[in-house]
Amino acid sequence: MPLPDGLEISAAVRNASAKPLSRIDVLASFYQAFRYRSVSATAFLQPELDPGQSRRVRFAVFHPQADLRGQAIRCYATHLGYLDGTSDDAPPMH
């Protein structure tokens, strides 16, 4: 979804960790004009997402390519921030 200062990605998120999530960083890949284009995005969760909870989350992309449109082919978490101030790199995708 285009925004005045960037792009927004919406995704269904489930917290599978043991701690409340307050931030999620993702990498999303789009396929256009026979090429993959990837962007990083961040969501600051207010209210936080408690363990076992699920909901739709909007991620802000602040420096997207102007012509990026459509549905992401891949979208996965790269970094997780917790309510207690700690953080982890997300486990690798297989």
Question: How does pLDDT run across 45-89, given as a tens digit for each residue?
Answer: 999 999 999 999 999 887 766 567 777 888 889 999 999 999 999
* Per-chain mean pLDDT for the chain: 86
Where in the chain does DSSP place strands (E)? 2-3, 6-14, 21-32, 35-49, 54-61, 74-82, 87-89
Sign (positive or negative) of CA dihedral 3, 1, 15, 73:
negative
Over range 18-45, report the average pLDDT.
90
Side-chain-facing half-sphere of 68: CA atoms under 13 Å: 25
* Total-model pTM: 0.82
